[in-house]
């Protein structure tokens, strides 16, 4: 075995904490309760089109669109932070 029982326990605990943080951020960002997020998520990975149908994303796009969106958001944030 690659891991002993204690190592497995710590890995599972870390994964659980990470998943809980992820669900909380999704719930906050999407305006949903954590129970609603869990009902949809349940630890699964969704295709883009399925995520769009479930209301987990606003729109579909690729890497370039994501980079451009992040750059626009960063520019707006920097504008707001100037005084």
Cα four-point dihedral sign 67, 15, 32, 77 = negative
pLDDT tens string, the chain, 83 residues long: the values are 799 999 999 999 999 999 999 999 999 999 999 999 999 888 889 999 998 998 888 899 999 999 999 999 898 877 776 65
pLDDT value at residue 19: 92
**Dihedral Cα 21, 23, 25, 29, nearest 10 deg:** 180
Cα 39-46-24 angle, rounded to 5 deg: 50
pLDDT at 63: 95
């Amino acid at each position: 075995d690659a891991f002993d029982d204690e190592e497995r326990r710590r890995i599972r605990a870390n994964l659980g904490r990470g998943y809980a943080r992820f669900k909380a951020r999704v719930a906050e960002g999407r305006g949903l309760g954590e129970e609603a997020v869990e009902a949809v998520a349940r630890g699964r990975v969704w295709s883009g089109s399925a995520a769009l149908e479930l209301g987990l994303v606003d729109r579909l796009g690729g890497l370039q669109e994501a980079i451009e969106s992040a750059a626009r958001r960063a520019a707006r944030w920097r504008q707001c932070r100037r005084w």
